[in-house]
């Protein structure tokens, strides 16, 4: 009895999209308030799904995105944890934001210390993730992606 082998083709455009998803999520996490916490869980799913992609460059680009996102989120979570212990007051963040004219969150009725923590978290996400994600997306779109032929494993 002869076994038949069926192959499938994964397009280069599909590989480029898979390599880009994590970086687009990082951009959204840096630009949309509150999305960073949601993206924290979703990014793990994106990474797991794309880690078995037939094109190894997809995993390389996903690792690059993870290496920029997870350490930044660790810093953000430390800001949150330390902020409730008095970090904002110790660094005089409310006074600094007021001096720079960036105390708009306090004008909206938020506690000045909490508002300064939100601003600090957004600032860290924005300053780190936006340039790294844009650079990675440029690299992804400059990469020459080819179709990959996938053969089923022979048993």
**Domain ranges for the chain:** 9-143
Q: How many angstroms separate the first and last alpha carbons of the chain?
A: 14
**Predicted confidence (pLDDT) per residue in 78-114, tens digit:** 777 666 556 666 666 666 666 766 666 566 665 666 6
Ranges of residues in the chain with a pLDDT under 50 are: 1, 154-155
**Helical ranges in 11-148 per DSSP H:** 12-31, 35-50, 56-83, 87-90, 93-100, 104-107, 112-142
- Which pTM was predicted? 0.76
């Amino acid at each position: 009895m002869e076994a038949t082998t069926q192959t499938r083709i994964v397009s280069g455009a599909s590989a480029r999209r898979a390599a880009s998803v994590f970086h687009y999520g990082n951009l959204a996490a840096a630009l949309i308030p509150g999305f960073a916490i949601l993206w924290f869980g979703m990014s793990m799913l994106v990474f797991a799904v794309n880690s078995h992609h037939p094109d190894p460059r997809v995993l390389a680009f996903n690792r690059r995105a993870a290496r920029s996102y997870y350490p930044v989120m660790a810093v953000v979570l430390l800001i949150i944890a330390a902020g409730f212990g008095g970090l904002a007051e110790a660094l005089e963040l409310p006074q600094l934001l007021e001096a720079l004219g960036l105390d708009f969150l306090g004008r909206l009725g938020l506690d000045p210390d909490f508002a300064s923590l939100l601003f600090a978290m957004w600032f860290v996400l924005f300053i780190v993730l936006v340039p790294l994600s844009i650079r990675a997306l440029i690299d992804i779109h400059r990469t020459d992606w080819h179709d990959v032929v996938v053969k089923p494993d022979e048993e």
